[in-house]
Amino acid sequence: MRFSFQDYISIKIHKTDLLLTSLIKTRLEPFNLAPEQNLIMMLLWEKDGLSQHQLIEPLEKDKTNIARMASNLEKKGFIKRVHCKDDRRSVRLYLTPAGRNLGEQVIPVTEEFNQLVSKGLTEDELRELERILAKINDNVRPEF
């Protein structure tokens, strides 16, 4: 049996991802913050001083991507990268005053965005969605 275009779950997920990314990009643009950079900032607003290595797992990015995004955030003046004295290969990221101030502006935007995305969904539906997405991620995650 051959699927039609509308039958592919991957296409449906991709369309949703494009809509979500486009909307959050528009909402973050006034703050000079890209959606992926915002993910790093959100983690730092929760816990300042994380190492670049500690960002790899929650963001599912390789160390090169993390380093590039951190460099761009540093150039914008939102974070400061500090090499650890004990291990020069390890780099910790710290919010600057501008980065902390940015959080006061951006966190409400991301919370409003999350409310919009989950509008009309029950707690049970959100848990089910998380379960289904985790299953899909496991299906397509490369095995190393």
Residue-level pLDDT at 143? 62
Q: Considering Cα of 14, then 18, then 24, then 28, what sign does the dihedral take?
A: positive
User: Would you tell me the crossing angle of helices 52-59 and 63-75 to the nearest 10 degrees?
Assistant: 110
Which residue type sits at 94? Answer: Y
> Mean pLDDT over residues 100-126, rounded?
97
Would you state the pLDDT for residue 87?
72
The predicted-structure confidence for 2-48, as pLDDT tens digits, reads as follows 778 778 999 999 999 999 999 999 999 999 999 999 999 999 999 99
Rg of the chain taking only CA atoms, in angstroms: 18
pLDDT in tens, 53-97: 999 999 989 999 999 999 999 999 999 999 877 777 789 999 999
Q: Residue 102's pLDDT is what? A: 97
- Fold that domain 23-107 belongs to in CATH: Arc Repressor Mutant, subunit A (1.10.10)
DSSP assignments along 46-102, one per residue: HSTT-BHHHHHHHHT--HHHHHHHHHHHHHTTSEEEEE-SS-TT-EEEEE-HHHHHH
Residue 3 pLDDT = 75
pTM here? Answer: 0.85
Residue 117 has pLDDT above 90, yes or no: yes
